[in-house]
Amino acid sequence: MNDPFKQADALRKALVADDDAEGRMDAWLTAMLGTDLSRNRVKALIEQGAVSVNGIAVTEPKRKIRPGDQVEIVMPEPEDPEPQGEDIPLDVIYEDKDLIVIAKPPGLVVHPGAGNWTGTLVNALIHHCGDSLSGIGGVKRPGIVHRLDKDTSGVMVVAKNDIAHRHLADQFADHGRTGPLERAYQAVVWGRPRTLTGTIDAPLGRAGDRTKRTVKREDTDDAREAITHYEVLERFGERPDATALAALVECRLETGRTHQIRVHMAHIGHPLIGDQDYGAAFKTKANLLAEPAKSIVNGFHRQALHAFLLQFEHPTTGETMHFEAPMPDDMAAIVEALREMPAPEDRRS
């Protein structure tokens, strides 16, 4: 059964209990709706007066359903909570009256959303910057002009007023084609790309899961241009045939699509170490690594991706601003362990 509350015009649902109807109201409603509403959610709606039986509001979830009962449930309009400031430490690289540049740690969500209404970078910024962020770029994303995935670390810039927000947003929308904007990432990938430098030009679109992306044909409705330039910086566990167990790769974005680097590197057969979404099939490759690299990689549960460089034009001074952030400790530990790993032909079985 389709969810009756996924439609904007279906916030009200009328049901009639059939001849076999029995049991508690909350249990019967949960079964009848056939949606992703949990029984606890249905129970809460009943207690809030959102359910009526035969024209009379019912607020007792255990009220028995009877054959022929006419039941109506009205879903309240969804309301997103306005984010509040929270005293969350920020690693501030630079700050002035127009903008703030921070080094985002892995594990920090950028802006509030389902399942993450608190503890985000936005909550931290509101606390740090005060009223200066109010209303810039929307209630849920004040000052945000670009984002990094929760488990990706690196440099981010946030606008502190409307003029800065518009100017920075325009630069990111232009992807640096006509200005100084640059974004560069460090990634640790499985294997070694066939060429030491290259360009991945492969459109991206939604995968089956709405949160994931996949490479699409250009003529697909939701296909969006995506271009990544890469350079292999180091090779680890290199074999005589020029293959390697892993590599440190620098990626520069010509476009900025969701999960772009992660999907593109997986597309050419070299997913990021630790990537649970696009590299899960490569997880057993850790068994090919020598200790302690094997244990460190097995204990690493996020994509090995770090936005180490960000460059842009200052929105009011016009100055080219260049910032870099060092690789976080957990990812640096992987690189160091891989560096110290003996070549495969030198390992003892």
Residues catalogued as catalytic = 149
Q: Could you identify the residue written with the tokens 């992306």? A: 213
DSSP readout, 153-199?
EEEEEEESSHHHHHHHHHHHHHTTSSSS-EEEEEEEEES--SSSEEE
Where is 51: in which H helix or E strand?
A: strand 51-53
CA angle 284, 289, 295 (to 5 degrees): 80
Report the alpha-carbon distance of residue 218 to residue 205 in Å, rounded: 10
How many contiguous H segments (helices) and E segments (strands) does the chain have? 7, 15
Evaluate whether 218 touches 209 at the Cβ level (below 8 Å): no
Q: Determine phi and psi for 187, rounding to 5 degrees.
A: -135, 140
Q: 45 — phi, psi (to 5°)?
A: -65, -40
- Separation of alpha carbons 149 and 136, rounded Å: 21
Q: Smallest Cα–Cα separation from 124: which of 137, 152, 143, 138?
A: 143
